[in-house]
């Protein structure tokens, strides 16, 4: 079967400099997101680094709630299922898999409409490599998980349109 990793519409990935802090002294949402560079060596990581995500979570997106279930890892993969909602119904589904790859982690994902029509081509998926990590934060390409407590975390996601950066979504999650 032919597979190709789809990173995003951008063909050249650049390391992102952190944006200056806003006047309030609080870091900007964008400063929590990093981009991968071609040829960059990812940090060492295993599924043990994301095991704390196992279980059921509910988050608050601007459009409405988002539910996610992370399953226990098996055979070097930890899958998750996402359902995003608004007042009118289901916005999308997403299947996400954390995968151990080259002594590090990548996230592979596919999106589906409420009718289960795929957003990505049949044999493609989005792949987000791990770019950096610290004690409480995992920085994947355009997507960051910050553990804020034993039963809470925040996701930062950088929207892109081609090579043009859009808004950074901030989605706080709590264990449900």
Q: Is 6 helix (H, G, I), strand (E, B) or coil?
A: strand
DSSP lists the bridge partners of residue 65 as: 60
What's the length of the chain? 176
Q: How far apart are CA 128 and CA 143, in angstroms?
A: 8
pLDDT exceeds cutoff 70 at 12: no
Q: How far apart are CA 8 and CA 155, in angstroms?
A: 18
How much is the mean pLDDT over the chain?
87
The pTM for the full model equals 0.84
Give the pLDDT of residue 23.
Answer: 52
- The closest alpha carbon to 90, from 114, 110, 68, 67, belongs to 114
Contact 111, 102 (CB under 8 A): no
CATH of the domain at 87: 2.40.128
Q: How far apart are CA 141 and CA 131, in angstroms?
A: 6
Q: How many Cβ atoms sit within 10 Å of the Cβ of residue 113? A: 12
pLDDT exceeds cutoff 70 at 4: no
Write down the number of H helices and E strands in the chain.
Answer: 0, 11
- Better-scored residue on pLDDT, 83 or 9: 83
Range of the domain at 119: 4-175
pLDDT exceeds cutoff 80 at 16: no
The predicted-structure confidence for 119-158, as pLDDT tens digits, reads as follows 999 999 999 999 999 999 999 999 999 999 999 999 999 9
Give the pLDDT of residue 24.
Answer: 60
pLDDT band at 26 (very low <50, low <70, confident <90, very high): confident
Q: What are phi and psi of 138, to 5 degrees?
A: -120, 120
DSSP lists the bridge partners of residue 4 as: 124
Q: How far apart are CA 36 and CA 14, in angstroms?
A: 6
Q: In the chain, how many domains are there?
A: 1
pLDDT exceeds cutoff 90 at 3: no
pLDDT exceeds cutoff 90 at 77: yes
Q: Is 123 helix (H, G, I), strand (E, B) or coil?
A: coil
pLDDT band at 84 (very low <50, low <70, confident <90, very high): very high
Q: How far is CA 72 from CA 50, 54, 55, 164, in A?
A: 10, 6, 8, 36
Contact 96, 111 (CB under 8 A): no
């Amino acid at each position: 079967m032919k597979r190709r990793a789809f990173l995003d519409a951008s063909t050249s990935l650049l390391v992102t400099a952190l944006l200056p802090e806003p006047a309030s002294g609080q870091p900007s949402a964008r400063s929590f997101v990093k981009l991968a560079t071609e040829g960059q060596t990812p940090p060492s990581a295993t599924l043990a680094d994301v095991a704390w995500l196992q279980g059921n979570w509910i988050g608050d997106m601007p459009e409405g709630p988002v539910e996610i279930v992370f399953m226990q890892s098996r055979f070097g993969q930890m899958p998750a299922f996402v359902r995003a909602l608004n007042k009118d119904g289901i916005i999308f589904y997403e299947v996400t898999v954390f995968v151990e790859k080259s002594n590090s982690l990548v996230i592979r994902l596919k999106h589906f409409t409420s009718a289960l029509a795929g957003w990505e081509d049949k044999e493609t998926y989005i792949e987000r490599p791990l770019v950096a990590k610290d004690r409480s934060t995992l920085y994947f390409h355009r997507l960051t998980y910050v553990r804020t407590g034993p039963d809470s975390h925040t996701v930062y996601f950088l929207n892109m349109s081609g090579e043009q950066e859009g808004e950074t979504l901030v989605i706080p999650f709590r264990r449900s």
